[in-house]
Amino acid sequence: MSVKTRLIISVLLGILVLPSITVSADKSSRVCENMSLGGGYFRAYGNPKPVSNQAFTINGGKKRYLNELSDPRALLVNFWTTWCRPCREEMPSMDRLQGRVSYDDLMIIPLVRDGKGLSEAIRFYKTFNIKNLPVAADRFGKISRDHHIGALPQTLLVDKKGLVKGIIVGGVDWESKKVLDLLNSCLNIDVNEEA
């Protein structure tokens, strides 16, 4: 038997006795699925696109660019107003969620769309004891236009690569099991359910 034939037989025998190998899916390529979330609905994007590169104002008027905030963290970009009832109802649970998750893993950015801008949002934060979220505004609506935001509230789910995986339309309880499961499956954000 030639050396080449013995080598081929050895390789084939080695393949036959190899233990089975399980390949797990890469966590960054998680699949998001459409689902009802109580008062809201999550619509997954089949082809995630980059988050807007427009600027917004934060904490007293400092300008930040949305596309510079991800990597290595995921983002929830919420569009709201102080007079919108579902917005007002979801904001306290959103604040508590941010209090439970490190800013290194997830940053929640509620972009107020009131004509009065940051002053009205600051008053709202004081009234409802919101302390874990930044005061931020999409003053000229550029980010809203980039993402075709209509009725409020709406929230973009942005992964750690800066891609928008989908959008939640309507107000939700940000501490509900369904929402926490969604954050885990789409953004790889694991929040323990007990506060």
Tell me: the pLDDT tens digits for 55-91? Answer: 998 877 789 999 998 878 999 999 999 999 999 999 9
**Within a domain: 153:** yes
Per-residue confidence (pLDDT) for residue 120, from 0 to 100: 86
Helix (H) or strand (E) holding 79: strand 74-80
Q: What total number of domains does the chain contain?
A: 1
Angstrom distances, CA of residue 103 to CA of 57, 63, 85, 119, 152: 18, 19, 27, 24, 25
From residue 137, give the alpha-carbon distance in Å to each of 71, 113, 147: 21, 6, 15
Overall pTM > 0.75: yes
Q: Has residue 91 been placed in a domain?
A: yes
For residue 121, the domain's CATH number is: 3.40.30.10
Quick check: is 14 in a domain? no
d(CA 79, CA 111): 5
Per-residue DSSP letter, 29? G
pLDDT at 23 over 60: no
